Amino acid sequence: MMKSTPERLLATLEELVTDELKLFQWFLNQDVLEGFSSIPSSRLENADRQDTMDKMVETYGPEGAVKISLEILRRMGQNNLAEQLKAGYKINSQRTGMKGGQMRCWL
């Protein structure tokens, strides 16, 4: 069974040690990607991995949370983790305009 997007994001964040999580959260407070607003540091203060994932999905939606996570992980030098997240992520084919099934998203 495929993991949901929030489950996949949480699993990715669980791979980060505490200092890496803090750096990831710092990037969320910056203008990382055009069209994606930053998350104020006050909303991430004392946030654990699950809180961080919840705030990302709430702010950016599931697909946007994956996109910004991929960019942040790459900026952090966590390319293998970014590739794992990207490889397992699928988007609903309705968003691509295709009929039937799902399409793998190569962000």
- CATH number for the domain running over 5-104: 1.10.533.10
Helix (H) or strand (E) holding 91: strand 90-92
pLDDT given at position 88? 79
Does residue 28 or residue 92 have the better pLDDT? 28
Q: How far apart are CA 17 and CA 13, in angstroms?
A: 9
Q: Rounded to the nearest 5°, which phi and psi values hold at 38?
A: -75, 160
Domain boundaries, the chain: 5-104
The model's pLDDT over 5-47, given as tens digits with 9 standing for 90+, comes to: 899 999 999 999 999 999 999 999 999 999 999 999 999 999 9
**Of 5-9, 46-50, 80-84, 89-93, which range is least confident?**
89-93
pLDDT of 70 reads: 96
pTM of the model: 0.81
Q: Which two tokens stand for residue 66?
A: 């994956």
Please determine, for residue 99, whether its predicted confidence score (pLDDT) is greater than 60: no
Per 3-state DSSP, the chain is made up of helix, strand and coil in percentages (nearest 5) of 60, 5, 35
Exposure string of 11-22, with b = 16+ CB inside 10 Å and e = fewer, is bbbeebeeebbe
Which residues are bridge partners to 104 per DSSP? 90
Q: What is the pLDDT of residue 101?
A: 39
